[in-house]
Amino acid sequence: MDQKLETFLTLCKTMHYGRAAELLHLSQPAVSKHIQALEAQYGVRLFTYQARRLQKTREGDLLEQYAFSLRYNEEMLLARLHEKSKTLLRIGATKSIGDYILLPEIRRFLAKPDQQLHFLVDNTAHLLAKLEDGELDFVVLEGLFDKQRYDFFLLREEPYLGICAADHPFAGKQIPIPDLFSERLILREEGSGTRKILERELTQSGYHVSAFSDCACISSFKLLKELVRENCGISFVYEAVVKDDPRFGRFFCPPLTGAHELNVVYLKNTDAGHWAHQFLER
């Protein structure tokens, strides 16, 4: 890919000319010249300063999406030109999906001897960053993402519910939001799709996680589930995480709970959607 576009993508990532220059092993004036050349080539401003902070323009956002796709397609072309006998897919999934939902698809894909798989389980924010860096072909997300920035299709809708110990007073009931706040909330880490959904619904209802008597942040589903099972707090997860497990009580608290989309997400103007459909046999 053109060096100017590589410089542009690095600046989009760092939003700082000095840090971009360090990463690219260029001088800061050289970075500025690359950006100025792109602006002259396309006849638009790509960045502006607001309150002395670098900001992308609308045109800069559009060029960034184009450059992501161009870099991905160029890498795929190189792979095709030096084609090997095995098909390699690089897939990312959020933890609920990777740990509890996609096992049948992974098993079926690996049953074919001419196919290889690199499968990363991480939170939504990290997966989208790796997708944009060209390190993944597509990602399967439970959380919120910018639907104008990527191409995507619906995998399925999955119930999102509250969980507690099996003998907890909430088990099997519909609970008003204010009644939750006497409990310890066990949250996933920052960047988690599961957490973003809960925080969004709380905010839209006029609340914040700080309303709970206590909060614990746990990135491991195994540990989170053990703490809930031992009555150390309540949490909110997708049904697949505790499916058919009698050790957990389920409770409902609209609008915090309900069905949410699980989506397959990939860069625009690439053939990654074809590979995603093939992996899922859709």
Domains along the chain with CATH numbers: 3-79 (1.10.10.10), 81-153+262-280 (3.40.190.10), 156-259 (3.40.190.290)
pLDDT in tens, 111-158: 988 889 999 999 999 999 999 999 999 999 998 899 999 999 999 999
Distance of CA 94 to the CA centre of its chain: 7
Closest CA to 139 of 158, 157, 148, 152: 152
pLDDT in tens, 94-106: 999 999 999 999 9
Please give the average per-residue pLDDT across 163-174, as a whole number.
98
User: Read out DSSP for 198-224?
Assistant: HHHHHHHTT--GGGSSEEEE---HHHH
Q: DSSP secondary-structure letter at 190?
A: T
pLDDT in tens, 51-102: 889 999 999 999 999 999 999 999 888 877 777 656 789 999 999 999 999 9
